Structure 1
Amino acid sequence: MKKICAFLILILPTFIYAAEYPYFMKSTKALGMGNAHYTINSDQYSAFYNPAGLAFNKDSRVDILNPQFDMGKNAMDFYRDAKDTDWESESEIAKLIRDNIGEYQHAGVSLFPAYYNKNFMIGVFGNARLNAVPRNKVYPNIETEFFVDRGITAGFAGKFLNNDSLSLGANVKLIERESLVETYTAADLAKDDFDQIIEDDLESGTGILGDIGAIYEMKSLPMNPRLGTAVNNIGSTDFGDAKDMKTTLTLSASISPQILFFESDIVIDYVDVTKAYDQDDDLGKRIHVGAELRPTNLQFFALRAGINQGYPTFGASLDFNILKIDYAYYIEEVGAYAGQWDDERHMLQVTLGF
């Protein structure tokens, strides 16, 4: 058990000094298209983007099992090095840290089984993620930030005005959070009671947060332009040292042109307009652009691409109704501004439902 905990601390969630944008859950589909999703989302992930998107669901669906795996390239390289490390030896752990100095490590896993239809969604979610950065060749240590979020969410949405051009939605999330923000030395990681050290360092809290959103469709215009907005994480929490979340405002716009034999969506999001978070004070970190292409006669297949915080992303999905497979390659900015410190990642999600 100690080896497992030590490995997780070294390769999983976000850093004390780094500036990754805080979140509860992310959509694999959205990340494939630059994490731009606020005017086209229509599944359970509306609860973490724009709940007005629920109004665009055409059918009812139950996702029974949908594990999502997220890992950075640096973490994959670290894992290969870690397999040959003696976790009882301080010197070997110190060497492992020195060999990976300054390399941002990220990994995570989540589940979000849910039921959703045209106007309603309810689901339970869980997400564990870890980021870590090895530091200091003279006195090797690793700065870590670890989150475990779990809870239940439910949302409603509807269409209004004479031609159903205005969609409004809202949802509520009941959340329990555990987090850890600490620096561990090689000596700490080699201790027999390292499991207990982690347990003592974990902080916990609960919260009730809501989201509201709107999407306006200009149906009389070509390519069905949409304008959207969402206010996320409204309410109060008792997370305390487990890290509170701030209320944010996002603006979004999209079009859906027919391109030859493809249906498409093209989206741009401007996240955290009011700069609630220091992590995204830079304009480049708050801009997300993406596109999705679907062959008109092959609706089970989709290709995605985008720009996430100035970096390219791409993704793809196969949807056989009972079985869905989604993949996304993306780069996350973990520095204070776009272009400072990038972390290359892969996300895979397999969904069973009907």
Structure 2
Amino acid sequence: MKNLFAVLLIFTSLSTYGAGVTETHNNVRSAGMGGIYMSIVNNSEALFVNPAALGRTQGLNWQVMNVETGVNGMDIYEDFRDIDTSDPNSFNQFFGKDIWFRLGGKAAVTLPYFGVGVYTDNQTQLELHNPAFPQFDTTFISDYGVVVGGSFPIAPNTYGGLTLKRITRWGGQQDIDLGVIAGGDMDAIADQFQNKGNAYGIDAAVMTSLPLPLNPTFSVVWQDVGSTAFQMTDGADAPPRIHDNLSAGISTSLDLPGLDWTAGFEYRHITESQYQLGKKLHFGTEFSLPFIDIRGGINQGYAAYGVGMNLFFLRFDVASYKEEMGAYPGQSPQNRIELGLSMDLSFDADFRLVGADGKRRKLKQRR
């Protein structure tokens, strides 16, 4: 079993994109709301999701850490628990199954109209095929990025935003023999993937809020404008590029004593014809009570659920949703569970810690 844990460890340090919709900067809160986020974010996450929202931040916000992990259902844990790495036949239960892991993290500091941050985006997806000569069809991408972003006012309650990213990427696609995986030799597994590269990318955004009941907010975000291509630094080829993602969204919100309500809709990957329309649509809502958030939504035609617990400056999030691995919603859904733990500190203009008294209302000002 020690070798098995070594195999899992290396795979959770990688990133993959299979038949599902390619996304960057995944977020557990967003996953629990059906995938929406761009029009409701106004804390340090704005730097990664919607730079125009930096115009709505107040004071100094420090995302000390945000660590998230995910797996496609607890049944995968049960399958791995029965593995005998000395017996390749014990892997037979994985034929035809997609195995997905995710491990990511980020940290950022933002001021009104400006922010800097770092992130790592690590996932992997593999499928055992070819019973005559068993191999894991493995596609992975591992990213480490440094981000600098800014926002600027365009009109009352209207902001534009730009983000510049430098990304180091390691990854590609390989068929790995079952014997290599079963052997648990991390060096042998890592040797299968040699392509590395660096790239610079740009995100652009605009958002506006109308002075009407329910505070309707509209956003348009263009991530990786023109696509982000990598210059090879190692291996035989450059890692795969990041395709651009043009998205539009709308949100509404209502603040009541002891209860806040948020809802939204997003249409993502507008220009990417390889995705069927139903895979691009996302709906979600969130009810915020003191110290707890209850979330739900529709992601690619499937129900999504999430809960967030706020303990002073720590936040724990969990989400359960489905990702469509086929060509259209309803064809081949994959169950996924994600967990997140973050620590956020906010300071007002006098550098006083906001929310130190644990009041929910002050804590929510960072979101």
Secondary structure of the residue aligned to 2:187 is helix
Give the gaps of 5 or more residues in structure 1.
none
CA contact (8 A) 2:82 2:90 kept: no
Structure 1 residue 66, shift from structure 2 partner:
2.1
| Cα distance change on mapping 1:10 and 1:229 into 2, 3 Å | closer
- Kindly indicate whether residue 202 of structure 2 is the aligned counterpart of residue 210 of structure 1: yes
How far apart are the structure 1 equivalents of 2:189 and 2:11? 15
Structure 1 residue 106, shift from structure 2 partner:
0.8
CA contact (8 A) 1:38 1:50 kept: yes
Report Cα offsets for 1:70-104 as digits up to 9, x if no partner: 1111xx433333344332x3xx22331x2122221
Query: Equivalent residue for 2:230?
Result: 238
Query: Equivalent residue for 1:180?
Result: 172
| Cα distance change on mapping 1:114 and 1:137 into 2, 3 Å | same
Secondary structure of the residue aligned to 1:234 is coil
CA contact (8 A) 1:267 1:291 kept: yes
Q: In structure 2, give the amino acid aligned to 1:66.
A: N
| Cα distance change on mapping 1:199 and 1:41 into 2, 3 Å | same
Query: Equivalent residue for 1:263?
Result: 260
Q: In structure 2, give the amino acid aligned to 1:251.
A: A
Give the root-mean-square deviation of aligned CA atoms.
2.5
Aligned residue pairs, count: 337
CA contact (8 A) 1:47 1:211 kept: no
Matches within 5 A, 1:184-333: 184-190=176-182, 195-219=187-211, 221-234=212-225, 236-238=228-230, 241-257=238-254, 262-275=259-272, 278=274, 281-295=275-289, 298=290, 300-333=291-324
Secondary structure of the residue aligned to 1:256 is strand
Matches within 5 A, 1:39-188: 39-73=39-73, 76-87=74-85, 89=86, 92-96=87-91, 98-161=92-155, 164-188=156-180
Identity of aligned residues (%): 24
- Kindly indicate whether residue 36 of structure 2 is the aligned counterpart of residue 33 of structure 1: no
Report Cα offsets for 1:315-353 as digits up to 9, x if no partner: 122223421112221211122221211111111111234
Q: In structure 1, give the amino acid aligned to 2:64.
A: I
Give the gaps of 5 or more residues in structure 2.
232-236, 346-367
How far apart are the structure 2 equivalents of 1:82 and 1:37? 33
Secondary structure of the residue aligned to 1:34 is coil
CA contact (8 A) 1:227 1:252 kept: yes
Taking structure 2 as the reference length, what is the TM-score of the superposition? 0.83
CA contact (8 A) 2:303 2:322 kept: yes
| Cα distance change on mapping 1:194 and 1:94 into 2, 3 Å | farther
How far apart are the structure 2 equivalents of 1:193 and 1:347? 28
- Kindly indicate whether residue 327 of structure 2 is the aligned counterpart of residue 336 of structure 1: yes
After TM superposition, the structure 1 stretch with the greater mean CA deviation from structure 2, 264-273 or 138-147, is 138-147
Q: In structure 2, give the amino acid aligned to 1:43.
A: N
How far apart are the structure 2 equivalents of 1:155 and 1:321? 27
Q: In structure 2, give the amino acid aligned to 1:210.
A: I
Secondary structure of the residue aligned to 2:141 is strand
Secondary structure of the residue aligned to 2:225 is strand
Secondary structure of the residue aligned to 1:99 is helix
Secondary structure of the residue aligned to 2:22 is coil
Report Cα offsets for 1:214-238 as digits up to 9, x if no partner: 111111x221112210111026432
Secondary structure of the residue aligned to 1:243 is coil
| Cα distance change on mapping 1:70 and 1:249 into 2, 3 Å | same
CA contact (8 A) 2:174 2:192 kept: no
After TM superposition, the structure 1 stretch with the greater mean CA deviation from structure 2, 195-204 or 176-185, is 195-204
| Cα distance change on mapping 1:192 and 1:217 into 2, 3 Å | closer
Report Cα offsets for 1:107-163 as digits up to 9, x if no partner: 1111101112332221111122111112234433221112211021111123332xx
Secondary structure of the residue aligned to 1:66 is strand
| Cα distance change on mapping 1:170 and 1:105 into 2, 3 Å | same
